[in-house]
Structure 1
Amino acid sequence: MDSALGGIDRETEYDESSLVFLDDGEETDDNRGLKTALIIMSVFALICVLVMVIKLNFTITTVEVIGNEHYTTDEIVKMVCSSELEKNTIFLYIRNLLGNEEEIPFIEEMDVDIVSPTTVKITVYEKALAGYVEYLGRYLYFDRDGIIVESSPERIEGVPFVTGLKFDHMALYEPLPLEHKKDIFKLILSITQLLTKYDIDIDSIYFSPDRDITLRIGNVDVLLGNSDFIDEKINRLRFLLPRLNGRRGELHMENYTGEGDKFTFERSR
């Protein structure tokens, strides 16, 4: 009997070191890993849904461009929305907040307004160009104050090509190095405005050493002389040009006194 009880005692002995005790709320490694995976999958699914919502509802479909003359509307749109990200109004809004310091030739500034989640309005402010000169194989464009604002290998239609001015150096964003430059630039700007007012297209403006003015229009040189009566001369010129179409020579207006003078045209052989 005692020996049997002793056998039972031996069978009921356990090694406590082999037991694992779980406190309330404690998780196993498998459960913890499963929850982590579920969280990651949920976050990923949420991101995917968010991306789809943004893509479907904030993709730019309509762009309005105003103020552009040098660049076409398509060129302006490509500058502003050059990548897929930039075709999204949310990204475009954030980029505008951070600022865009990219220099674009002939453009002073561009304002991008988010009209709606799918519509953008771009307002272009181009640099005011009074004329340009040629120097070392490039064309240097200057504003009404004579500041060189752009250097380019291309000519722009509608901007006067100014010749006859002498200079030995140039620097971007610096004034043209000329004597009496304020008077010259004021005169160039005045001529440009008058040509625009009377819808006259010219090829170039030439200033002689004595500051006499000659306009080159096709194969005709228009000798305006000095700046006296410049408004009246250019006003009269617009009525004479149709009669000079296809001709080659010089139109003499330099002796105009404002009292009904006649002008002479000297043909070139």
Structure 2
Amino acid sequence: MKRKGRNNQEIPKKKKKKFSKFRFYFFNIVLGVIICLLVAAMASYAFCTVHTVTVKGNTVYTEEEIKQLVLDDSYSKNTVYAWGKNLIKPKTDIPFVSAIKVKIKGYDKLEIDVTEKKLFGCVLLSDNRMAYFDEDGKVVEVSDRVIENVMQVSGITLDKAKVGSKVGLEKDQLSFMLNLLKILKKYDIAISSLSFDERGRITVVYGSILICVGNDTNVEEKIMRLPHILPNLEGQSGTLHLENWTPDNTDIVFERPKE
């Protein structure tokens, strides 16, 4: 018999809730994914211990220094962790380095690719630190570390330097120096140092040869002659005078040291 309530109205039966197939499959899929992740994590922990690390692109730091800077916690001995950590939060605070990329090369092998900041030269500061600048004259690093094979500007000492700002030389000096360095690079002439005298004239050092460039007049015309001259002076020491060169006076004198 059907149940009746007040006023003889029939009371509808409550429907039983059915567990839908969608919920069933969704629950099982999620559970399966969680189990797979747990198995993968345990396998990674058990089998992916770092045994070999290759470092590429480093010149400022040694291979061991890069390893210590990048793999800097106890969990980094795991290849998957080290890769994931660098992917999510890459190292951005290493001086002279613009980017670090960690790659997995095997279950127990990592490769660390280092991209270093491009250093065009450096200037001494009054606190004995060095201000390193790029080809646009912007300071990219201030450090007490002396980097080999980076051209040093002498004859001037700066009181301070700020990363991201121009090197604190006078505008004409900076323009002359950067233009000269770009021309030297164009003709593949690698110098070890550059100096200003009290009149703003520049002398550069190439091996054991001093090259007096002079002022900023006819700079490229002077430098473009060096690839033809320097091979003939290989193994010698002395001073090469370009400062008086003009289109009307093309004499270039090489002065050997007095015995």
Does TM, normalized by the shorter one, top 0.5? yes
Which amino acid counterpart does residue 137 of structure 1 have in structure 2? N
Structure 1 79/161 Cα, relative in aligned 2: closer, same or farther at 3 Å? same
* Contact 2:237 2:256 survives alignment (8 Å): yes
Equivalent residue number for residue 124 of structure 2: 134
Give 1:95 deviation, angstroms: 1.7
1:213 aligns with 2:205: no
* Contact 2:130 2:142 survives alignment (8 Å): yes
Give 1:261 deviation, angstroms: 2.3
Give 1:133 deviation, angstroms: 0.8
- Mapped to 2, the partners of 1:74 and 1:198 lie a distance apart of 35
* Contact 2:142 2:161 survives alignment (8 Å): no
Q: How many residues align?
A: 220
* Contact 2:48 2:78 survives alignment (8 Å): yes
Give 1:81 deviation, angstroms: 2.4
1:253 aligns with 2:206: no
* Contact 1:62 1:118 survives alignment (8 Å): yes
Question: RMSD of aligned C-alpha atoms?
Answer: 3.4
Which amino acid counterpart does residue 114 of structure 1 have in structure 2? I
- Mapped to 2, the partners of 1:189 and 1:68 lie a distance apart of 26
What pairs with 1:99-178 in structure 2 (closer than 5 Å)?
99-101=89-91, 103-135=93-125, 136-165=127-156, 167-178=158-169
- Mapped to 2, the partners of 1:76 and 1:232 lie a distance apart of 43
**Deviation per CA, 1:152-199, whole angstroms, max 9, x where unpaired?**
33322222111234644333443322331xx54454344334444544
- Mapped to 1, the partners of 2:106 and 2:182 lie a distance apart of 39
Structure 1 60/196 Cα, relative in aligned 2: closer, same or farther at 3 Å? farther
Equivalent residue number for residue 10 of structure 1: none
**Secondary structure of the corresponding residue to residue 130 of structure 2:** strand
| Structure of larger gyration radius | 1
Percent identity between matched residues is 36
Structure 1 185/111 Cα, relative in aligned 2: closer, same or farther at 3 Å? farther
* Contact 1:63 1:120 survives alignment (8 Å): yes
Structure 1 186/123 Cα, relative in aligned 2: closer, same or farther at 3 Å? farther
* Contact 2:137 2:178 survives alignment (8 Å): no
Please list every run of 5 or more consecutive structure 2 residues that lacks an aligned counterpart in the other structure. Answer: 1-37
**Secondary structure of the corresponding residue to residue 91 of structure 1:** helix
Give 1:223 deviation, angstroms: 0.7
Equivalent residue number for residue 80 of structure 2: 90
Match of 2:211 among 222, 227, 231: 222
Which amino acid counterpart does residue 138 of structure 1 have in structure 2? R
Structure 1 168/82 Cα, relative in aligned 2: closer, same or farther at 3 Å? closer
Match of 2:193 among 204, 220, 223: 204
Which amino acid counterpart does residue 250 of structure 1 have in structure 2? T
Higher-helix-fraction structure: 1
- Mapped to 1, the partners of 2:77 and 2:178 lie a distance apart of 40
**Secondary structure of the corresponding residue to residue 102 of structure 2:** strand
Structure 1 144/201 Cα, relative in aligned 2: closer, same or farther at 3 Å? closer
What pairs with 1:231-246 in structure 2 (closer than 5 Å)?
231-245=220-234
Match of 2:170 among 165, 171, 179: 179
Give 1:94 deviation, angstroms: 3.5
What pairs with 1:53-72 in structure 2 (closer than 5 Å)?
53-72=43-62
- Mapped to 2, the partners of 1:76 and 1:259 lie a distance apart of 55
- Mapped to 1, the partners of 2:120 and 2:177 lie a distance apart of 7
